[in-house]
Amino acid sequence: MTIEPKYFFLKRPSVMKTNIQTLLRHNGIDVPDSKLSVKISLLSDFLNKLNYIPIEDVSSVIEYEKADLKSRIPAIDFDAIIKDMMRSSEGFEVVKKNTFVLNSGIFSQTKQASLALSNILQNRIIAVDFLIYIFIDDAFQRYENFKNERKQQDCAQVVIDNLPHASTRVFVRNYLNKKNLKSVSELVENEKSNFIEMIKESKQLHENSKKKAVVKVEKMKTVIGYPKEFEAPGALDNSYQLKLFPSDSYNGMLMKIERDFTKYYLDFISKKSVINPANLVLWTNAMYLEDNTLVIPPPIMDDPFFDESYPEYAKIGILGTPIGHEMGHGFDIGRIGNDENGKAGRVLTLVDLKSLMKNAKCLHKQYINYDDPDFGKQNRPDTSINEMIADSIAAKVAKYLEVVLPRFGLWNAPVQFYCVLIALFSVTASFHYIESSKSFSEFMKEKGTFLSLKAVFATIKFIFLLTAIVSQYALKLLLLFSQRAMFFRIRAAEQPAEQAVEQQGAVQLPRQDESRSSQKEMQQGEGIRQRRVVSQ
Ligand SMILES: [Zn+2]
């Protein structure tokens, strides 16, 4: 946590005046225009003086204890403020150790800055007026945000964004198959070992790079579903102290939510929780966090994306690749300079780092120069290089080539696409039939859950698999037929027997050389994108 000066921009005096007047009028207070104008100009002067405190090095931070804010700004009890933001003062010492102060503006350690600050704070009334105005301005901003953005959003999305903990809890309690957690956990552990194995077997990396890279993977923290401390029955409910009432105003509710968020954040700083609440989001994706943490939120590990009963290749194809991709982000250009704790620290030796940059840039150049007949050039030079590194690592770490591709053989992307299309068409057609046939529809409604979302997914899955199996067998029959025809032709031409066997082998699937050609394709970051669930 870093304590830093907040830079304000006051609104135009006329807007400030209208806002203050509106608020006062709603509370039955009438203040003359002239008095308000004087106060507003005093606030602007105060802010100008604050902003003119000399700024030294804006990037340097000092430890909280060393910053000694108590003696520099005695009017503010920072210890008490931090304790007040915490659930309990237990863990305060840990918070202090993990808190830093930005050495600039009002927190600057120079004599000049201290003197300027104490001069500004001499007029306490203006300082307090300024704080009150900031409070009012925050409230107006919340309402403006509601009017301009939130009002247009889906109501459930607003709740999910504002209350990620509670939303996760509701989803986990009511929908998530808990057995999936173990299965995802195994998937993550497998991929971690594959990653470590891959690093150790590397012929390019030097020993020092290997050691540090292995430590980074080994120490990568994982949050599968939700932080472990919430696993105990009732644990989240106990830590959840937010109480909202129908009588609360919109602003009042948001203030309670923000305060509650701060408590979770301080839990994270005091190491009581492993996840920064800002990163606990309810979305169908996985993500890699700066402090070397891999997060797999609950929605992606549930139907229809994942189930413990799915075969291994399906688990890897659907969830294994995003997991490998996010692990790969730990070694992309933006994060390769961070150690196993996410702090600045070189993982690769300089030579290996240069080599990584060279290879990545070469691959990236190939990618941005590729002119796709359908999508054109994907010219996003700033971000795509990291995505390509993550994808390339994922292809190997998830063992996509070894486990998933051979399983599909000829059952490639177009075939899968048509199977999905047929499945969707069949389900839509059957529902249309049910809807238009009243007696049948009534019969189904009596059956209760037939039309539930789960049933729809199950039906699509069933028809998809059925179509897929049928199409795969049809392809095999077709191959067998053409193979025999070729065999007979070879025999008719009186070719040597060994050559005939070779020819026969050449059309058996899956073929080793086809896997290799796919491997090349994967290394170029192409194939994986077709099946990867959208990732960060
Ligand atoms: Zn990514």
- 189/40 same-domain check: no
Task: Spell out the residues 6+ positions from residue 114 whose beta carbon is closer than 8 angstroms to its own.
Answer: 72, 108
Does residue 464 contact residue 318 with C-beta atoms inside 8 Å? no
**pLDDT confidence of 303, banded at 50, 70, 90?**
confident
Asked whether residue 267 is domain-assigned, the answer is no
- 353/403 same-domain check: yes
Alpha helix ranges (H) inside 493-532: 497-506, 512-523, 527-531
Rounded Cα–Cα distance for residues 529 and 388 (Å): 10
Distance 371 CA to ligand 1 centre (A): 22
- 331/419 same-domain check: no
**What pLDDT sits at residue 284?**
80
Residue range 469-497: mean pLDDT, rounded: 53
**pLDDT confidence of 314, banded at 50, 70, 90?**
confident
Distance 457 CA to ligand 1 centre (A): 27
> Which domain, by its residues, includes 23?
2-60+103-152
- 451/309 same-domain check: no
pLDDT tens by residue, 247-282: 999 899 999 999 988 988 998 899 888 777 877 777
Asked whether residue 323 is domain-assigned, the answer is yes
Asked whether residue 263 is domain-assigned, the answer is no
Residue range 424-434: mean pLDDT, rounded: 66
Is the confidence at residue 407, as pLDDT, over 70? no
DSSP 189-217: HHHHHHHHHHHHH-SSS-HHHHHHHHHHH
Is the confidence at residue 487, as pLDDT, over 50? no
- 306/391 same-domain check: yes
Lookup result for tokens 């039309």: 451
- 358/488 same-domain check: no
**pLDDT confidence of 121, banded at 50, 70, 90?**
confident
Distance 362 CA to ligand 1 centre (A): 19
Distance 385 CA to ligand 1 centre (A): 10
Rounded Cα–Cα distance for residues 263 and 86 (Å): 5
pLDDT tens by residue, 13-52: 999 999 999 989 989 998 888 889 999 999 999 888 888 7
The protein residues having their C-beta less than 5 angstroms from ligand 1 (an ion) are: 387, 390, 535-536
Question: Which is it for strands 371-372 and 376-377: parallel, antiparallel or unpaired?
Answer: antiparallel
**CATH number, residue 354:** 3.40.390.10
- Find the Cα–Cα–Cα–Cα dihedral 296, 299, 304, 310, rounded to 10°: 40
**What pLDDT sits at residue 57?**
57
- 316/181 same-domain check: yes
- 201/333 same-domain check: yes
Is the confidence at residue 205, as pLDDT, over 70? yes
**Total domains present in the chain:** 3
Domain ends where: 385, 407, 429? 407
Domain ends where: 407, 431, 459? 407
- 197/221 same-domain check: yes
**What pLDDT sits at residue 509?**
30
- 419/401 same-domain check: no
Distance 323 CA to ligand 1 centre (A): 10
- What is the DSSP-derived secondary structure letter of residue 228? G
What is the 3-state secondary structure of 312-377? HHHHHHHHHHHHHHHHHHHHCCCCCCECCCCCECCCCCHHHHHHHHHHHHHHHHHHHHCEECCCEE
Distance 326 CA to ligand 1 centre (A): 6
Residue range 363-376: mean pLDDT, rounded: 81
Asked whether residue 484 is domain-assigned, the answer is yes
Distance 189 CA to ligand 1 centre (A): 20
pLDDT tens by residue, 393-403: 888 887 766 66
- 109/50 same-domain check: yes
- 147/20 same-domain check: yes
